[in-house]
C-alpha cells in the first residue's frame, strides 16, 4: 500500500505531534550547544599536533601511557590523545595547545626515551615522531567561508522556491533546513565529537540532500492542489497529505540507500581507524540524512498546510467541502430512514462533483441539439429519438397479428 501511495497515513492531521517532537529535539540540542559547547579541533582553535607510530620497542603503545609521558614532560595535560588505525599502520595522535620549539623538543625526546617508537627502517627512530603547528586564524578563515557559503545557499534556495513554488513553501523549506542544521550540530555537541573542516563540509552536503527531498514532496503537493479551489472533492490538507503518502516510499528508499554507505563509512572511520576525518564526515552526513528526510515529510508539509489554511480562499474551500459532505450524510440518513440501508461508513465517496454533473448535463444537451429533436418526458437519457419511453411494453397499435 505504501508503494502504491494509498497507505492512508494521516501525517498532516497529526501536525501538532510532529511539532512537539521536533520542538523537544530543538530544545535539547540548543541547551547542549549552550551548556556543553563544541569540541573544536586544532584546525579551529590552533595548537600543536604530534604524531608517532603506535608500535614501540616494548610493545603496543597505549593512550594512557602517552598521557602520563606528556604530563611528565611538560607539566600539563594534552588537549586530546587518540589512537587511529590498526596493525602496522596504527598511530598515536596528540593534540595540545600551542607549544614553543623548546617544549616540542622536550616532548619528542620524552616520548622516544619511554616508548622507542619503530620507524620505517624497523628500528627505534626519533624521527618517527612528527609535529606540526596550526594557526587559529586558519580555522577562523574556514569558519568565515563556511558561513558565507551557507548564507549564499539559503538566499538562492529562497529565490528558487519562491518563483518555482510559492512563498509559503519557500518559508517551510527554510524552517526545515534550519531544523536540520540545529539538530545535526546539537548531536555533535551531545556526542562530543571533534569539529573539524570535514564536519563543515559534511554539514553543507546534507543541506542539499534535505532540500532535494523537500522539493520532491512539494512538487507533488503542487500537483495535487492545482485547480482545487474550484472543486469540493477534498481540502488542501487532504491533498497535501495524499502527496506525502505518494512520495513517502521514495523518501524512505532514498534515505536508506544514502544511509547505508554512510553507516559503513562511520564504522570504518570510528571502529577500525579511530575517530578521525572519516568519523567526523560520516557522523554529520548520517545524522543530517536521517533528520533531513524526517523534516521533509513530517515538518515541512504540515507547515505549508497551516500557512495555506490562513488564506481565506482555502479556508472557504474547506468549508464548502465540509458542507457538501454534511449534505451527503443527511441524504444518506434520510434514505436509511425511508427503509433503505444507511451507509455506516459515513458520507458516500461516489457523490459526483458539481462540475461533473454540469459537464454531464451539457453533454446531453449537445447531443439533443445535434439530433434536432426534443426528448420525450420520461425518456431515458441518451435514448434514440422515437424510441419508446422507459417502462412501456407491448407492441404499437395497429393490425393484430394473425
User: Looking at residue 379, what is its pLDDT?
Assistant: 47
User: Looking at residue 250, what is its pLDDT?
Assistant: 84
User: Looking at residue 24, what is its pLDDT?
Assistant: 96
Q: Identify the domain boundary among 280, 314, 348.
A: 314
The answer to whether residues 223 and 259 belong to one domain is yes
- CA-based end-to-end distance of the chain: 66
CB neighbour list of residue 156: distance below 8 Å, 6 or more residues apart: none
C-alpha distances in Å from residue 213, one per residue of 20, 155, 244, 296, 332: 22, 18, 11, 6, 42
pLDDT in tens, the chain (402 residues): 444 445 578 899 899 999 999 999 999 999 999 998 887 777 777 788 888 888 888 888 888 888 888 888 888 888 878 777 667 778 888 888 888 888 889 999 999 888 888 888 888 888 888 888 877 666 677 778 877 887 888 888 888 888 888 888 989 988 998 999 899 989 888 887 777 777 877 887 787 778 888 888 999 999 999 888 888 888 999 999 999 998 888 888 888 888 888 887 777 766 666 555 666 777 888 888 889 889 988 999 999 999 999 989 999 988 999 999 898 888 888 886 655 544 443 443 333 343 443 444 444 444 344 444 444 444 444 444 444 444 444 444 444 444
Q: Identify the domain boundary among 314, 334, 353.
A: 314
The answer to whether residues 226 and 101 belong to one domain is no
Number of domains making up the chain: 2
The answer to whether residues 83 and 176 belong to one domain is no
Q: What is the dihedral sign for C-alpha 314, 317, 318, 319?
A: positive
- Residue 84 sits in which domain range? 47-134
User: Looking at residue 284, what is its pLDDT?
Assistant: 84
The answer to whether residues 60 and 172 belong to one domain is no
The answer to whether residues 173 and 63 belong to one domain is no
What pTM was computed for the model? 0.68
User: Looking at residue 304, what is its pLDDT?
Assistant: 93
3-state secondary structure the chain: CCCCCCCCCCCHHHHHHHHHHHHHHHHHHHHHHHHCCCEECHHHHCEEEEEEECEECCEECCHHHHHHHHHHHHCCCCCEEEEECCHHHCEEEEEECCCCHHHHHHHHHHHHHHHCEECCCCCECHHHCEEEEECHHHHHHHHHHHHHHHHHHHHHHHHHHHHHCCHHHHHHHHHHHHHHHHHHHHHHHHHCCEECHHHHHHHHHHHHHHHHHHHHHHHHHHHHHCCHHHCCCCCHHHHHHHHHHHHHHHHHHHHHHHHHHHHHHHHHHHHHCCCCHHHHHHHHHHHHHHHHHHHHHHHHHHHHHHHHHCCHHHHHHHHHHHHHHHHHHHHHHHHHHCCCCCCCCCCCCCCCCHHHHHHHHHHHHHHHHHHCCCCCCCCCCCCCCCCCCCCCCCCCCCCCCC
**What does the alpha-carbon distance between residue 238 and residue 86 come to, in Å, rounded to a whole number?**
55
The answer to whether residues 151 and 264 belong to one domain is yes
**What CATH number does the domain containing 87 carry?**
3.30.70.3170
The answer to whether residues 121 and 181 belong to one domain is no
The answer to whether residues 307 and 221 belong to one domain is yes
**What CATH number does the domain containing 296 carry?**
1.20.1640.10
User: Looking at residue 289, what is its pLDDT?
Assistant: 87
The answer to whether residues 129 and 159 belong to one domain is no
Domain membership flag for residue 96: yes
The answer to whether residues 257 and 153 belong to one domain is yes
Q: Identify the domain boundary among 134, 166, 185.
A: 134
The answer to whether residues 130 and 150 belong to one domain is no
Amino acid at each position: 500500500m505504501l508503494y502504491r501511495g494509498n497507505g492512508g497515513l494521516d501525517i498532516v492531521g497529526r501536525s501538532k505531534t510532529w511539532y512537539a517532537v521536533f520542538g523537544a529535539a530543538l530544545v535539547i540540542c540548543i541547551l547542549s550547544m549552550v551548556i556543553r559547547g563544541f569540541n573544536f579541533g586544532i584546525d579551529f582553535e590552533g595548537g600543536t599536533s604530534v604524531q608517532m607510530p603506535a608500535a614501540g620497542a616494548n610493545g603496543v603503545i597505549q593512550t594512557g601511557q602517552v598521557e602520563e609521558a606528556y604530563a611528565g614532560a611538560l607539566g600539563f595535560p594534552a588537549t586530546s590523545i587518540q589512537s587511529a588505525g590498526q596493525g602496522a599502520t596504527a598511530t598515536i595522535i596528540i593534540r595540545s595547545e600551542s607549544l614553543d620549539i623548546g617544549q616540542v623538543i622536550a616532548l619528542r625526546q620524552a616520548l622516544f626515551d619511554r616508548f622507542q617508537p619503530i620507524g620505517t627502517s624497523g628500528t627505534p627512530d626519533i624521527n618517527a615522531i612528527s609535529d606540526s603547528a596550526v594557526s587559529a586564524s586558519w580555522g577562523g578563515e574556514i569558519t568565515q567561508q563556511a558561513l558565507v557559503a551557507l548564507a549564499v545557499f539559503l538566499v538562492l534556495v529562497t529565490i528558487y522556491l519562491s518563483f518555482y513554488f510559492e512563498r509559503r513553501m519557500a518559508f517551510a523549506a527554510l524552517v526545515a533546513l534550519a531544523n536540520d542544521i540545529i539538530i545535526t550540530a546539537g548531536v555533535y555537541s551531545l556526542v562530543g565529537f571533534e569539529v573539524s573542516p570535514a564536519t563543515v563540509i559534511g554539514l553543507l552536503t546534507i543541506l542539499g540532500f534535505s532540500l532535494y527531498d523537500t522539493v520532491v514532496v512539494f512538487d507533488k503537493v503542487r500537483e495535487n492542489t492545482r485547480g482545487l479551489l474550484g472543486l469540493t472533492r477534498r481540502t488542501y490538507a487532504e491533498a497535501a497529505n495524499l502527496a506525502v503518502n505518494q512520495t513517502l516510499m521514495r523518501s524512505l528508499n532514498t534515505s536508506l540507500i544514502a544511509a547505508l554507505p554512510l553507516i559503513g563509512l562511520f564504522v570504518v572511520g570510528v571502529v577500525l581507524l579511530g575517530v578521525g576525518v572519516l568519523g567526523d564526515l560520516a557522523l554529520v552526513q548520517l545524522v543530517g540524512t536521517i533528520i533531513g528526510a524526517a523534516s521533509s515529510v513530517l515538518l515541512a508539509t504540515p507547515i505549508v498546510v497551516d500557512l495555506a489554511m490562513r488564506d481565506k480562499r482555502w479556508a472557504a474551500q474547506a468549508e464548502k467541502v465540509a458542507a457538501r459532505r454534511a449534505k451527503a450524510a443527511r441524504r444518506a440518513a434520510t434514505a436509511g430512514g425511508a427503509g433503505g440501508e444507511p451507509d455506516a461508513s459515513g458520507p458516500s465517496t461516489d457523490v459526483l462533483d458539481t462540475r461533473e454533473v454540469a459537464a454531464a448535463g451539457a453533454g446531453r444537451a449537445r447531443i439533443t441539439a445535434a439530433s434536432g429533436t426534443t426528448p420525450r418526458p420520461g425518456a431515458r437519457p441518451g435514448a434514440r429519438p422515437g424510441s419508446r419511453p422507459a417502462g412501456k411494453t407491448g407492441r404499437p397499435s395497429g393490425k393484430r397479428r394473425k
